[in-house]
């Protein structure tokens, strides 16, 4: 479990791909202080298990399933990534409860300056938008943000200078992809209402060309 408060920006040192998946090695400093083999770490919002710890670097294995539902498969060597260690029970939750289980991949369609903030417009899949509400929480590449405006295809968020400095969102440009995780509370509420018969079952995603392209499968 995480909070969506990014601790530092790491750098991808190496990616080793095989039929089983990908081994990701990341250069870092702050998160290395207490990181051990077997620990969980959020990499651009995706919860990964540490399999090796070195001098100012760690490695994690990314399964084919994770590659298919996140944007991690599109990372390249030297790419910056948002990092956060798992939440301690005695810590303040300054963001919101984040599981690190990515719900879908979004695309940044525009960015503009508004006062001291940068407003990002992100196109998102329906399976993510169904849980979004204005002024609700959403995780974008591991960063806890507040939804400002919402329509049937996208949502907007505003990032303050501190967030722009501490996360990769400060340099993300239109056309780039981001990992998205909707607020946990909405998912549980929907599930309970479905069990009571107050809501129809959640529709299965359409496996079409757009679905495969967004997941980097074609």
145 and 81, same structural domain? no
Residue 48 has pLDDT above 80, yes or no: yes
111 and 70, same structural domain? no
- What would the pLDDT profile of 86-127 be if each residue is shown by its tens digit? 998 777 788 888 999 999 999 999 999 999 999 999 999 999
Token digits of residue 198: 């107050």
Q: Note the residue count of the chain.
A: 218
User: In this structure, are residues 169 and 162 in contact, taking their beta carbons and an 8 Å threshold?
Assistant: no
Average pLDDT over residues 31-60: 96
126 and 57, same structural domain? no
Question: Which domain CATH number covers 31?
Answer: 2.40.30.20
Question: Can you give the residue range of the structural domain that contains 61?
Answer: 8-85
Residue 148 to residue 202: CA distance in whole angstroms: 25
Q: What is the number of domains present in the chain?
A: 2
Give Cβ neighbours of residue 185 (< 8 Å, ≥ 6 apart): none
User: In this structure, are residues 84 and 6 in contact, taking their beta carbons and an 8 Å threshold?
Assistant: yes
pTM for the model: 0.85
41 and 128, same structural domain? no
How many Å separate Cα 57 from the centre of its chain? 21
Residue 215 has pLDDT above 60, yes or no: no
Residue 53 to residue 36: CA distance in whole angstroms: 7
Token digits of residue 113: 């300056």
């Amino acid at each position: 479990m995480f909070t969506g408060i990014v601790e530092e920006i790491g750098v991808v040192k190496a990616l080793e791909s095989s039929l089983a998946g990908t081994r990701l090695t990341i250069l870092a400093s702050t998160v290395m202080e207490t990181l051990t083999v077997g620990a969980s770490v959020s990499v651009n919002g995706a919860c990964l298990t540490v399999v090796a710890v070195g001098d100012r670097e760690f490695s994690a294995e990314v399964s084919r399933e994770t590659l298919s539902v996140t944007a991690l498969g599109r990372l390249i060597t030297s790419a910056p990534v948002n990092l956060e260690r798992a939440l301690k029970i005695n810590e303040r939750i300054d963001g919101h409860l984040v599981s690190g289980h990515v719900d879908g991949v979004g695309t940044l369609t525009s960015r503009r300056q508004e006062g001291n903030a940068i407003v990002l417009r992100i196109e998102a899949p329906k399976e993510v938008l169904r849980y979004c509400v204005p002024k609700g929480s959403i995780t974008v590449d591991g960063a806890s943000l507040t939804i400002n405006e919402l329509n049937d295809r996208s949502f907007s968020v505003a990032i303050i200078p501190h967030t722009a400095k501490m996360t990769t969102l400060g340099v993300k440009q239109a056309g780039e992809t981001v990992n998205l995780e909707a607020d946990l509370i909405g998912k549980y509420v929907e599930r309970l209402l479905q069990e009571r018969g107050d809501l129809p079952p959640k529709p299965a995603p359409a496996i079409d060309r757009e679905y495969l392209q967004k997941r980097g499968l074609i």
